[in-house]
Amino acid sequence: MRKHSWFTAAIPLSMTALLLSGCLGGSSSSSSSSSPGGPDELTRAHDERVFVPVESEIAALPDMPTSRYSGIYEGLQGDAVYAVEVPEGWDGGTLVMYTHGYAGEGEELPLSVPNEAWRRVVLGFGYAWAASSYSANYYDARAGLEDTNKLALEAVNYILRDYGEQYNQPDRFLISGFSMGGHIAAAAIDRENRERTQFKVDYAGAAPFCQSEQNQFQWLGDYPRVMMELSGYGNEDYSRFQELVGEYQNFGGANILVRPGPIVDALFNQDGLGMPDWTSPKGVEGERLMAIAENLSGGERPIFEYGFAGPLQSIVLGTGGSSGDINGILALNGYGNQDQVYRWSTGPITPEEQEFNDNIARVTADEDANPLRDDGVRWIPLVNGEFDVPVLTMHTLGDFYVPFRHQQLYRERAQEHGNDHLLVQRAIRAPGHCDFAANEVVEAMRDWLVWVNFGIKPQGDEVLDPEVVADPDYGCAFTRDFLPVENPVSREPLPDCSAVL
């Protein structure tokens, strides 16, 4: 049985104030300017932050002899920590770059090591892996991409410098990561970033799991604003959201909403302890909020209610009320919802939905919030779906924090560029963020590497057909550990996936 994490160590639960919109592309008209006032002259709060690398040793895997190295190297924002693990007999073959997820806002940069399932597959194929701490925390996907690429090109040189051991340069690079690391892995193979990065690496394949991307910040901006409008507080200044949503309490590193404020109280009933009962919407407005959230996060699908009713609800609400600069990662406001249409039904838009869309507060993003730059990739590297190598993704259906909708957008973008035949996507029936069982990671990594090596394309899930995604059996094909059988909202039993496997 899966032990549901609900969260992942890749994204600490204190993550707050992340907002940005789908218009993250910024203004291309000023993309090549480096004159005063141009994109390379903008300054951010993040530019002044200083981080401290913290070295440690890579724990050995039982029954798998390897050589393990770690040290310090110069990254984009300052020093970073590198980690490299080499199996016996490796000498300049394939190097797989691992990209870690969001690591919070602290000053320390710890060693980054992938989970055991991921490591065992990579090492079992005879490949080495390397990972960077990145030279900055916060949502600095730019530093993550540039620092990872630099490490890919220099890893064997760092080992020689720090350990006096000589390896040949890798002859092939692959990349894989989780959450924000999945964003970085997907961006690293995208044409715009390949062309603009300071350290050019031609990756032969990518496996971004539960990946974030630019739509992440659209979602984190939309949902709190929808909640304000439906609860009757849509005319209040958005900066008051946290005051109005309620009080949080920390449980094992997770900030959980324990005392509902007026916004939440207007939409949900309370449980016996006075905490919000996310399985019990209050009236038509609460039901509409759930339906809008489902539509924004990927549409009708199994397991959605699990994620909505779980702790990730508090994490999403904890992002509300911020200014739209992603905690200083941008210099300007990047959130906008001028073109967003909010729906709680399907089919033609209803008069009630039209009225809601007319009334909800609209925000305009600064078109230069995330411009192209002359000194590397954008502050938030875009995932445009323009790639030419095998890509395998995996995403949980109940992830309320980094929603399944990202997978649908990725497919649509790949189709626009005519390379969707190179994209395989898998849906996993779990409620948390990056909530994968070890055997699901093993199978996905193994299938991806066989595809890269031998051209044998693995199977995946359809993600765009609403009828397919809404099927009660959706996600059964690649889920290897299953949920309890009761839906937490409807109390109706979920289908037993074993019947379709």
Same domain, 123 and 149: yes
Same domain, 342 and 380: no
Residue 495 has a pLDDT of 65
Residue partners of 348: CB distance under 8 A and separation at least 6: none
Phi, psi of 129 (to 5 degrees): -130, 155
Domain assignment of residue 397, yes or no: yes
How many other CB atoms sit within 10 Å of the CB of residue 332? Answer: 17
Can you list the alpha helix ranges (DSSP code H) found in 103-140? 116-124
Cβ-contact 211, 409 below 8 angstroms: no
Domain boundary among 293, 324, 359: 359
Residue 9 has a pLDDT of 38
Q: Which residues of 150-174 are buried (b: 16+ CB within 10 A; e: fewer)?
A: bbbebbbebbeeeeeeebeebebbb
Question: In the beta sheet, which residues pair with residue 393?
Answer: 425
Domain assignment of residue 390, yes or no: yes
Same domain, 65 and 175: yes
Is residue 19's pLDDT more than 70? no
Phi, psi of 161 (to 5 degrees): -65, -45
485 pLDDT band (50/70/90 cuts)? Answer: low
Same domain, 187 and 256: no
Q: What is the pLDDT of residues 323-360, one digit of tens each?
A: 899 999 999 999 999 999 999 999 999 999 999 999 99
Q: What angle do CA 403, 409, 410 make, to 5 degrees?
A: 100
Same domain, 200 and 221: no
Same domain, 201 and 312: no
For 432-437, what is the mean pLDDT? 95
Domain assignment of residue 482, yes or no: no
Domain assignment of residue 280, yes or no: yes
Q: What is the helix (H) or strand (E) element at residue 427, kind and residue range?
A: strand 423-428
Percent of the chain residues topping a pLDDT of 90? 85
CA separation for the pair 119, 66 (Å, rounded): 11
CATH number, domain of 67, equals 3.40.50.1820
Domain assignment of residue 141, yes or no: yes
Instruction: Give the distance from CA 283 to its chain's centroid.
Output: 32
Same domain, 60 and 187: yes
Q: Which residues of 295-331 are buried (b: 16+ CB within 10 A; e: fewer)?
A: bbbbbebbbbbbbbbbbbbbbbbbbbbbbbbbbbbbb
Domain boundary among 326, 359, 392: 359
Q: What is the pLDDT of residues 52-99, one digit of tens each?
A: 999 999 999 999 999 999 999 999 999 999 999 999 999 999 999 999
Is residue 159's pLDDT more than 90? yes
Looking at per-residue pLDDT, the higher value among 19 and 116 belongs to 116
Same domain, 284 and 262: yes
17 pLDDT band (50/70/90 cuts)? Answer: very low
* Residue labelled with tokens 């040189």: 157
Contacts of range 409-414, beta carbons closer than 8 Å, 24 or more positions apart:
409/213, 409/215, 410/186, 410/211, 410/213, 410/383, 410/385, 411/385, 411/463, 411/464, 412/385, 412/464, 413/383, 413/384, 413/385, 413/386, 414/385, 414/387
Q: What residues make up the domain containing 413?
A: 50-215+372-454
For 293-309, what is the mean pLDDT? 96
For 302-327, what is the mean pLDDT? 94
Residue 16 has a pLDDT of 42
User: CA of 262: how far to CAs of 227, 230, 275, 287, in Å?
Assistant: 11, 12, 13, 17
Residue 21 has a pLDDT of 40
Phi, psi of 173 (to 5 degrees): -125, 140
Structure tokens at 310: 């779980």
Number of domains in the chain: 2
Residue 482 has a pLDDT of 74
Residue 33 has a pLDDT of 33
Same domain, 62 and 201: yes
Same domain, 334 and 381: no
Is residue 174's pLDDT more than 90? yes
Q: Mean pLDDT, the chain, as a whole number?
A: 91
Residue 419, Cβ density class (10 Å: 0-12 exposed, 13-18 middle, ≥19 buried): middle
CA separation for the pair 398, 400 (Å, rounded): 6
251 pLDDT band (50/70/90 cuts)? Answer: confident
CA separation for the pair 49, 223 (Å, rounded): 29
42 pLDDT band (50/70/90 cuts)? Answer: confident
Domain boundary among 359, 380, 397: 359
Is residue 158's pLDDT more than 50? yes
Can you list the alpha helix ranges (DSSP code H) found in 271-350? 283-297, 304-309, 312-317
Residue 497 has a pLDDT of 78
Question: In the beta sheet, which residues pair with residue 207?
Answer: 176
Domain assignment of residue 10, yes or no: no
How many other CB atoms sit within 10 Å of the CB of residue 350? Answer: 12
